[in-house]
Homo-oligomer: A and B are copies of this chain.
Amino acid sequence: MSKAVGPLSRGEAADKPPRRRAATIRDVAQAAAVSTATVSKFVNGGQRFSREVEARITAAIQQLGYRTNPLARGMITGRTGNLGIVILDIRNPHFTSLVKGASRVAAEAGMNLLFADAAESREPELALLQALFPQVDGLIVSARMPGAVVDWLRESAGKPVVFYGGPAPQPGLHSVGCDNHASGLMLGRHLRELGHRRISYVGFSAARWSEDRWQGLRDAFQGTQASLRHFDVPAPVAEEGERIASSVLLDAQTPEAVVAYNDLLALGLLSEARALGFRVPQQVSIAGFDNIAYGRYVTPSLTSVDIGSEATGEVAARHLLALLAGEPNLALHETVATRLVARDSTARPPDPGKP
């Protein structure tokens, strides 16, 4: 009836701030001449109403610009409408894609994404998580989290968690990731078919599945005379690739091919290899994992295994939503497809050797 939008209490006549406070369910109820319970049921759907009531409520909501307050709703339902995701390093395009995938699924489901970057942090991971926790309905976190964090997570029960990257850090937990052994095998076979015999792997042992990739790589050369060597870096970033390049390339065993735990390392290795005067791929082949977008734009373009970063984020989010919905038969682990992307940084070795 009245044109005024806000409630009439609270000194409506005051002339200072004409700023109306947001309309509440009570305002709608009053305007529509029904009870708040009715409005609530209407808003949350799942029930039928008389045409008249429906029309009045719709009009009132429309007119008042009413939007339910998620905090108040959350207090009752225990749901926040948010999904949490904690990333190890947003600078890494692999994680960026992961976030993108999760973000899309969350948005489609009408949920928000609470984001945390564990970057650089030593211990604060737990603090980060604890801050996120009460504000989300479920979490997507790296399977590479410290044990203490995982313990806390499973004890602060009630909220589902999906781990990404590799198998869950402890049995009985949900996870999404690719088959890392198979990925390593895939890349190893590619190199083997090219005729490589001396392979060096630059791993990142802080990620458990670096070992799986390494094993896959070795298995690809089983029964051959190939010699494989293992290096390790403290962080899976381009700078470390650059730093370790000389050790790898000027090693006692000059490698015909260098495989890196991920593309960032590979990018650094590639760059430094060329700076050191190595011709890639003529003298040495270089490859990585993740298939980040920039692999296409370096010279030579980077051979990589696409481990479905964005799909991982999508599947993880979907899995989490299913968990939230109480889906009954949910596999503990979902595997994302991988695919070899052979580009120019891998080729036949200089001296093919004899079969």
Q: Is A254 among interface residues, defined by CB-CB distance under 8 A?
A: no
Q: Is A178 among interface residues, defined by CB-CB distance under 8 A?
A: no
Bound-state CA distance A112–B112 (Å) is 12
Q: Which of B19, B71, B90, B271 contacts A75 (CB 8 A)?
A: B71
Chain B residues with CB below 8 A from A298, complex form: 294, 297-299
Q: How far is the CB of A179 from chain B (nearest CB, A)?
A: 25
Residues A107 and B113 in contact in the complex (CB < 8 Å), given A71-B71, A134-B71: no
Q: Is A322 among interface residues, defined by CB-CB distance under 8 A?
A: no
Which of A26-34, A124-132, A141-149, A335-343 forms contacts with chain B? A124-132
Decide if the interface of chain A is mainly helix, strand, loop or mixed. helix
Bound-state CA distance A258–B100 (Å) is 31
- Let me know if A112 and B91 touch, CB within 8 A: no
Residues A110 and B131 in contact in the complex (CB < 8 Å), given A238-B293, A267-B297, A298-B298: yes
Q: Is A208 among interface residues, defined by CB-CB distance under 8 A?
A: no
- Let me know if B115 and A82 touch, CB within 8 A: no
Bound-state CA distance A299–B246 (Å) is 20
- Let me know if B119 and A100 touch, CB within 8 A: yes
Chain B residues with CB below 8 A from A104, complex form: 117, 119
Q: Is A114 among interface residues, defined by CB-CB distance under 8 A?
A: yes
Chain B residues with CB below 8 A from A91, complex form: 93, 96-97, 100, 293
Q: Is A171 among interface residues, defined by CB-CB distance under 8 A?
A: no
Bound-state CA distance A66–B208 (Å) is 34
Q: Which of B75, B90, B297 contacts A96 (CB 8 A)?
A: B90
Q: Is A80 among interface residues, defined by CB-CB distance under 8 A?
A: yes
Q: Is A215 among interface residues, defined by CB-CB distance under 8 A?
A: no
Chain B residues with CB below 8 A from A13, complex form: none
Known: A70-B134, A90-B103, A99-B117. 5 other contacts (CB 8 A): A71-B74, A82-B114, A107-B116, A112-B131, A114-B115
